Chain A
């Protein structure tokens, strides 16, 4: 077999192993070891393993990951979801579709902290869906909003996806985190405008809800959540101003979140223990995949597959826009099977050399990749978030209804992606000021 054939066989083997429930890390790692053995012998395969595992973990820039995960876990376990929703609901009820808008914005804030759109959809769905349905909201609107809104968090800092992308692509992580802000806000604005417009045109979708809006109560609800936006802004500001590295921002952020929860009497030993358990569990399962992704990169580089692919892209003179569309298609299809972090680590070893050959701006492309990954968890027939929302909503709502609701958000996403592709400045303007 030629090197290229061994490389291609390796990619096929990974896909096959994934399909039969082999953990992502194991599929990538084992195939890489066997492949490197076939290409260069056992020393090439195993020689680097002793140092690679350690050197990979002993990394300052990646230490932002456990810190952001801890920050997210603390906010989640200390019950911030519920309070964000209560406050947003009181303040936004005057809008057409007010509950849906409140869900949308509360999810964005919560997902930014918690970092997982799937966990956000599950947590927010449990609170917001019953309430919207009780007030006669359209089922598709209620469930679609919850499924879609969690994806906003991946672009708004702190974002684990950007840290991992930045580490892999060797791009500045701070700049990537900042690059996601405007695209994230733009998407949130489109979502909100779409909900308001639809509910304005067809009031039967979202009957007006009368909630006692004594302004004392409104301020009281706000007083309970104001630390969250302040914390997010402080994290963004300190990274943006170059005052703190992402690790420092994450560590101080997590510490502050614990203090806030203590002051609000939402923290005790078991909540802290559970938060740390969550953070450690996610850290371990992400990093073991990332280590295998490094092995996979070595294996593919030896096989020459990425070089071959990027040379083909250049030889055939494939235009940038087609390449972006092809990337989008791959992520949307694969996003049906895999959660975003696993999928990104799985695909970057193949994609990144192609992006480099096409001379894409890697920060701009990073924003697009994260966007595509999050669209992938929404798309029918098997978007992960839709399943989660369906399970949370219970038997009264069919999966097709959830997807009916999501379609409107996907339309927004298409517009946003076109804007991001047409105007790279939306992603690159803020980092250029750093």
Chain B
């Protein structure tokens, strides 16, 4: 009973973290749009580009927009898969395959977390900066976005693997979770 409560507590925490990460990723996309637009306007109207736009877009907005939302995408089951070959399988088999797929994905996310984490520590120690014409931009903090996003992604995948496995071995397996494509079509 206490284990159950612990599990659901962990799950809620994980949901909150992945939602927060996705919101930060979304803000990065919005900021990218505003920053680049401002740079373009300033370049053509005032003949004065905003120095550092390219560096901010690539190192901050892009990295945040790509790695932070990975967990939320998994929570929506929106990572791209091929469904055609398994279309005739029953719910139990599909749940089982999805559990295996989540485990494999967790391994991949785990390796990325580990390797990118080592890299982030190295860059933090050296205090990585890049040159933007007149001044330097601090970039080492953005190195941490990769392992952070990959870590939460891995935890969500492990949780999904457990849940799908439990569902696959239940007496009456529930229907497999809907994939992105079904949702898109009947929205």
Contact = CB atoms under 8 A, between A and B. Distances in A.
Same assembly = yes
Interface of A: 17-26, 29-30, 33, 46, 49-51, 53-54, 57-60, 62-63, 66-67, 70, 118-119, 122, 244, 247-248, 251-252, 254-255, 273, 276-277, 279-281, 283-285, 287-289, 336-339, 341-342, 382, 388, 391-392
B62 A284 contact: no
B162 interface: no
Given A23-B101, A33-B111, A281-B78, A119 B118 contact: no
Given A30-B108, A53-B112, A277 B26 contact: yes
A178 B132 CA distance: 31
Nearest to B117: A50
Given A26-B101, A247-B57, A53 B146 contact: yes
B172 interface: no
Given A50-B118, A67-B36, A254-B33, A20 B66 contact: no
Among all A-B residue pairs, the 3 with the closest Cβ atoms = A50-B119, A251-B36, A49-B115
B82 A251 contact: no
B104 A337 contact: no
A29 B86 CA distance: 22
A66 B36 CA distance: 12
Contacts of A67: 32-33, 36
Given A251-B36, A252-B36, A280-B29, A49 B82 contact: no
A121 to B, nearest CB: 10
B67 to A, nearest CB: 7
Contact of B119 (A54, A251, A279, A280): A54
A288 B185 CA distance: 24
Given A23-B105, A26-B108, A54-B119, A66 B32 contact: yes
Contacts of B143: 54
A147 to B, nearest CB: 13
Interface string B127-144: 000000000000000110
A21 B69 contact: no
B40 A281 contact: no
B33 A54 contact: no
Nearest to B63: A57
A26 B105 contact: yes
Tell me the dominant secondary structure on chain A's binding face: helix
A24 B78 CA distance: 12
Contacts of A339: 80
A280 B100 contact: no
A309 to B, nearest CB: 23
A119 B181 CA distance: 10
Given A283-B29, A287-B66, 6 more contacts: A54-B143, A66-B32, A244-B40, A252-B40, A284-B69, A284-B70
A255 B63 contact: no
A364 B107 CA distance: 39
A26 B22 contact: no
30 contacts: A18-B81, A19-B86, A21-B94, A21-B101, A24-B79, A26-B79, A26-B101, A26-B105, A30-B107, A53-B150, A54-B116, A58-B58, A58-B142, A62-B62, A66-B32, A67-B32, A122-B184, A122-B185, A251-B32, A251-B36, A252-B36, A254-B33, A255-B34, A273-B26, A276-B29, A280-B69, A285-B79, A337-B84, A388-B185, A392-B185
B81 A22 contact: yes
B108 A29 contact: yes
B62 A342 contact: no
Interface string B67-96: 101101100101111111110000000100
Tell me which of A22, A119, A391 has the highest count of chain B C-beta atoms within 10 A of its own C-beta.
A22
Contact of B80 (A70, A251, A336, A342): A342
A259 to B, nearest CB: 10
A391 B116 CA distance: 43
B171 interface: no
Contacts of B186: 391
B30 interface: yes
Contact of A21 (B63, B98, B108): B98
Interface string B49-65: 00000100111011101
B31 to A, nearest CB: 11
Contacts of B66: 57, 283-284, 287-288
B8 interface: no
Contacts of B72: 281
A54 B146 contact: yes
Contacts of B150: 53
Nearest to A277: B26
Contacts of B83: 21
A294 to B, nearest CB: 13
Contact of B54 (A60, A62, A281, A287): A60
Contacts of A19: 82, 85-86
B79 A288 contact: yes
